[in-house]
């Protein structure tokens, strides 16, 4: 799980999809989803959203970057 969490932390701003990350982990989508939930307490999508929100909050408090730019930087495409 640590390798997957590291990958998500390093790539959270990209357009990550559950099937792609499951494949990287060498699991089926359903197996990975259950494994991830069991080991983190969050679904894959919830964990990804929390990472993005955490980084957005950090950038908002530490920089003068406009909020629209921050949204794109952390992976919110719309």
Helical residues (DSSP H) of the chain, grouped into ranges: 2-11, 18-24, 29-40, 44-62, 67-73
CATH of the domain at 13: 1.10.10.60
Residue 50 maps to a domain: yes
Angle at 69 between CA 74 and CA 24, to 5 degrees: 20
**C-beta neighbour count of 69 within 10 angstroms:** 11
- In the chain the first and final C-alpha atoms are separated, in Å, by 29
Q: What is the pLDDT of residues 24-44, one digit of tens each?
A: 999 999 999 999 999 999 999
- φ/ψ of 3, rounded to 5, equals -60, -40
Total number of domains constituting the chain? 1
Residue 14 maps to a domain: yes
Residue 78 maps to a domain: no
Residue 45 maps to a domain: yes
pTM of the model: 0.85
Report residue 77's pLDDT band, with 50, 70 and 90 as the boundaries: confident
pLDDT of residue 76: 86
């Amino acid at each position: 799980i640590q390798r997957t969490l590291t990958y998500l932390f390093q790539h959270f701003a990209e357009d990550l999809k559950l099937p792609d990350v499951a494949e990287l982990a060498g699991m089926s989508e359903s197996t990975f989803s259950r494994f991830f939930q069991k080991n983190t307490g969050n679904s894959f999508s919830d964990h990804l959203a929390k990472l993005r929100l955490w980084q957005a909050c950090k950038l908002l408090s530490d920089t003068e970057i406009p909020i629209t730019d921050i949204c794109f930087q952390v992976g919110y495409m719309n």
